[in-house]
Amino acid sequence: MIFLRNENFRSYVRLYPITAMILAVNLIVFIFDALLLDKQLTERGMFYQEPELDRYGLSEPWRYVTSMVLHAGWEHLLFNCFSILVFAPPLEKLLGRIRYLTLYLAAGLAGNVLSAVVHAGIEYGSVGASGAIYGVFGAFLFLAVFRKFSIDEATRKTIYMTLIFGLIYSVLSPNINIWAHIGGGIAGLAMMGIIVAGKRGSKSRAQGGYR
């Protein structure tokens, strides 16, 4: 099962540097904001839209990205960091640093875009890495459904159960931005499909060159 983590701290950082960096940024930003800045970073960096003056939050477009490293509280932070800590390393190992980081950021951005479209008629604000995390889940869902041979049965079951639990929790919890989760998940699934198709195409061209 690829989600079992048994590395020590040094090995984790060495093997999964991008994941370690993402975790560090989330933790440092939260601690710095909460203890020293009285949540000023959250106010200036959270994703925010207002129906009359800024329907899609485009007047301050950086919020689409900065909101991904901000969290509403300790529970929110720790839950997201735990998800990244456990589920993200195998994807970084599988895709490599650049593709993995691209997928992670693109999924988070896609989650905010879908959320902005759905909430265009109301005043709405959100923070959190959940869209990006669901992008990781979506990438693994693609493998579980379309590339079953690439992961073991225990991993597939874990992916299915995690997504089912996550979606139920998102629906039942009033303060959860489920549309960011859905947008991130769809983006992660789609990007993994594109990556896999690209690898297969490259392999076919390479094989054709040797005929």
Would you say residue 50 lies in a domain?
yes
Closest to 134 measured CA to CA, from 170, 158, 152, 107: 107
For residue range 27-56, list pLDDT tens digits in order: 999 999 988 888 899 999 999 999 888 999
**The amino acid at 204:** S
DSSP track, 11-65: HHHHH-HHHHHHHHHHHHHHHHHHHHSTTHHHHHHSEEEBTTTBTTS-SSTTHHH
For residue range 180-194, list pLDDT tens digits in order: 999 999 999 999 999
Q: Average pLDDT over the chain, rounded to whole? A: 92
Answer yes or no: are the C-beta atoms of 110 and 186 closer than 8 Å.
yes
- Number of other residues whose CB lies within 10 A of the CB of residue 12: 17
Structural domain span for residue 67: 9-209
Would you say residue 90 lies in a domain?
yes
For residue 74, pLDDT over 50 is answered with: yes
Would you say residue 2 lies in a domain?
no
Task: Count structural domains, the chain.
Answer: 1
Would you say residue 3 lies in a domain?
no
* Phi, psi values for residue 124, rounded to 5°: -150, 140
Would you say residue 1 lies in a domain?
no
Can you give the CATH number for the domain in which 179 is found?
1.20.1540.10
Residues that are catalytic:
130, 181
Answer yes or no: are the C-beta atoms of 66 and 108 closer than 8 Å.
no
Would you say residue 100 lies in a domain?
yes
Distance CA 180, CA 167 (A): 11
pTM of the entire structure? 0.91
Would you say residue 4 lies in a domain?
no
Distance CA 24, CA 69 (A): 10
CA atoms within 13 A of residue 104's CA, in its CB half-sphere: 24
| CA distance from start to end of the chain | 38
For residue 68, pLDDT over 80 is answered with: yes
For residue range 83-131, list pLDDT tens digits in order: 999 999 999 999 999 999 999 999 999 999 999 999 998 999 999 999 9
Distance CA 88, CA 188 (A): 12
Q: What percent of the chain has pLDDT over 90?
A: 80
Distance CA 110, CA 128 (A): 13
Rg of the Cα atoms in the chain: 18
